[in-house]
Structure 1
């Protein structure tokens, strides 16, 4: 099937709609800021419970990951992501969603071949390159010192 220029132009124009940056950028900024403010509030609560700075930071990360996974499991993270854009992806909640969403999508294929295999389909390269970069950095520091 061969298309002429007019048919191609009609098909092409229907595919991509410009995104309203005037709306998306402030919404992402506000949502990301609210998530970070929530994390700061959680950290303050942990510190008020006599946790050390590092322990409260670690527990806050765990809480934010649990929030991201919980929102994904409830089907709310996708809606929030459509409304807020990158504001949900930048904090650690976005990383939690990138791990939980593929695992939940393929859970019908079984624990090993579905959930465990697909869990790392999006976040796997991030983890691999993060670990590789940290090894290179560690070797560099070891060689310099």
Structure 2
């Protein structure tokens, strides 16, 4: 009986310890932070878009320049070690847009540059973004094949 009681106390102490160490997340606060972060990125993008349109660019060219400027801004913020803080605070609001993808490519390149151009940057640059690119290409190819077959069969006209 004494041994069982010790075991129960240990289990209770362990459960209390786990409870104190497990982070508690406020879902609504995290959603608000993601909304503000993503919204800020969109506002910056809209600024670039309006600037390009007012400079006389077409809609398509303005969109291209906007994407380029957002990627450049993201890479610069990653290089200055500011984007990780933004991503930590804003969560998915900073990681989902094109800026998050640029950050996921630039961060490993910066981290592994000390290992050289080939074995550092060349091998590690796509550690995070590589699977996204791979599955994006494979999924696009598969859906394109299905679309082509449906066209040939006559299901889609």
The TM-score normalised by the length of structure 1 is: 0.88
Shift of 1:47: 1.7
Whole-Å Cα distance in 1 between the matches of residues 22 and 125 of structure 2?
30
Shift of 1:44: 1.4
Q: 1:57 aligns with which of 29, 40, 63?
A: 63
Count of matched residue pairs: 143
Deviations 1:96-135 (A, max 9, x none): 1111111111111111111121111011110001011111
Deviations 1:62-116 (A, max 9, x none): 1111111111000101111222222111211111111111111111111111112
Question: Highest Rg: 1 or 2?
Answer: 2
67-76 vs 41-50, which moves further: 41-50
Which consecutive residues of structure 1, in runs of 5 or more, have no partner in the other structure? none
Whole-Å Cα distance in 1 between the matches of residues 136 and 130 of structure 2?
10
Whole-Å Cα distance in 1 between the matches of residues 101 and 148 of structure 2?
30
Q: 1:70 aligns with which of 58, 76, 89?
A: 76
Which consecutive residues of structure 2, in runs of 5 or more, have no partner in the other structure? 1-6, 152-157
* Alignment RMSD (CA, Å): 1.8
Shift of 1:57: 1.1
Deviations 1:29-57 (A, max 9, x none): 01111111110111111122222222211
